[in-house]
Amino acid sequence: MGAHRNVTRGYADELRLFGTPLARTGLAALVVVFLVLPTVVQNDFWLSVLIYVGITAIGAIGLNLLTGYCGQISLGHAFFIGAGAYAAARVGGEIGLPLPLWLLAAAAIGAALGGLIGPFTLRLRGHYLAIVTLGLVFIGEHLWRNLTDLTGGNSGTPVTAGASIGPIDFNSLNLFGESYSRNQGWFWLVWGLVALVALLAKNLVRTRPGRALQAVRDRDQAAEVIGVRAGQYKIGAFMLSSAIAAMAGALFGSYQQFVSPDEWNLLLSIQYIAIVIVGGLGTIFGAVLGAIFVGALPALIDRYSEAIPGVQTSVGGEGFISVFALNQALFGLLIVLFLVFEPRGLAGIWLRIKAYFKAWPFSY
């Protein structure tokens, strides 16, 4: 049967995610990079950038399900990420539950909060929904500063959640007689979770519920008339997106080991919007690409701020723009440039390159 390996013999074959030899080779290459990278790049700065990028990718997949697939804009993503971080601090740190459980607890809390906000999407759309979810960020900031028992108030709270799955402790990884640093362990943990979340999300969007989300995005009245309960799916998308955001927040908090209310601000929400737009609305791998491209920016700017002309390296220092303001400006610029020149984002560029080589040597 060797010669017929690549022939589609039924719908099951056609529905495979990695159906072509090229796709399988690409997958294998990614697995190798995933396994080998932390042993090659042992530099803590670069590993930590990659870990933050991975956590951001998880959150971005969540937002893309809501905004890219279901068409509901949300500026409240930072609120759910913050809620997840505090869930990790309390459930993982104080109560001391293991990683899988505090991650699921964060997801459950995120979903519950999303379920409370979700019904607003039934009455509002577009700019109006953006304004309501924007309000969420400010209500959140107020809550985080005043629920001192839960969040530590203005001064923040340590997050002492453990990072072990069964016998494997990612904080001090020990495999086959080799011991690895915390950053190496976290790289494998976080990017393993990115792969898992991406796979689950991809499965979701290619089956009945995912098609329904996209139908609601494209034409909600027609969706209703063919039997899709649009309201249910809007709320469902909100809950799922918030659950994933809360998981990203929980990972963020327990990796950083300390969180304060200043982190869940509007800029964080806008960063996520920038990621899904730059990466490509309505694609799963676009969210990951966007997170690599945009998510690494703040860390890199912070690190190399001295080399960038005009950037203040300290409060009241020389230069005309702070690191924070430069980040904001860059996110804004990226959103504008991509919306104008490549609305399909990095994923769109990638698909065009792929289509070119598929048709090569023909140009059509």
Partner 1 sequence: MERVNGPLLEFTGVTLRFGGVTALDDVSFEVEPGELFAIIGPNGAGKTSIFNCLNGVYRPQRGTITLDGTSLLGRAPAAIAGLGVARTFQNLGLFAHLTLIENLMLGRHHLMHTGFFSGMFWWGRAKREEIAHRAAVEEIVELLELEPYRRMPAGLLPYGVAKRAELGRALAMEPRLLLLDEPVAGMNLEETEDTARYLLEVRRELGLAMILVEHDMSLVMDLADRVLALDFGVVIATGKPSEVQDDPHVIEAYLGGAA
Tokens at residue 347, please?
A: 């994923």
Q: At what angle do helices 99-117 and 77-87 cross, to 10 degrees?
A: 140
The residue (of 113 and 270) whose beta carbon lies closer to partner 1 is 113
Ranges assigned E (strand) in 249-333: 258-259
Among 101, 130, 200, 299, binds partner 1 (CB under 8 A): 200
Which part of the chain contacts partner 1 (CB under 8 A), choosing from 7-15, 45-53, 265-273, 327-335? 7-15
Q: How far is the CB of 326 from partner 1 (least distance, A)?
A: 35
Q: Is 276 in the site for partner 1 (CB under 8 A)?
A: no
Q: Is 204 in the site for partner 1 (CB under 8 A)?
A: yes
Q: How far is the CB of 99 from partner 1 (least distance, A)?
A: 20
Query: With contacts defined by CB under 8 A, how many residues of the chain interact with partner 1?
Result: 33
Per the DSSP assignment, residues forming a β-bridge with 311 are: 321
Spatial separation of the C-alpha atoms in residues 95 and 74, rounded to whole Å: 32
Among 131, 139, 222, 355, binds partner 1 (CB under 8 A): 222
Sequence letter at residue 89 = A
HSE-up (13 A, CA, CB side) for residue 151 = 22
2: DSSP letter:
G
Among 66, 91, 189, 215, binds partner 1 (CB under 8 A): 215
What secondary structure does DSSP assign to 10-40, as a single string?
SHHHHT-TT-SHHHHHHHHHHHHHHHHHHHH
Q: How far is the CB of 238 from partner 1 (least distance, A)?
A: 12
| Per-residue interface string for the shown chain with partner 1, residues 278-307, x marking contact by CB under 8 A | ----x-------------------------
Q: How far is the CB of 218 from partner 1 (least distance, A)?
A: 4
Spatial separation of the C-alpha atoms in residues 129 and 75, rounded to whole Å: 9
Residue 85 exposed, middle or buried by CB count within 10 Å (0-12, 13-18, 19+)? buried
The residue (of 153 and 231) whose beta carbon lies closer to partner 1 is 231
Q: Is 244 in the site for partner 1 (CB under 8 A)?
A: no
Q: Is 20 in the site for partner 1 (CB under 8 A)?
A: no
Residue 5: what are its φ and ψ, rounded to 5°? Answer: -55, -35
- Contacts to partner 1 by CB under 8 A: 10-12, 15, 200-201, 203-204, 206-212, 214-215, 217-219, 221-230, 236, 240, 282
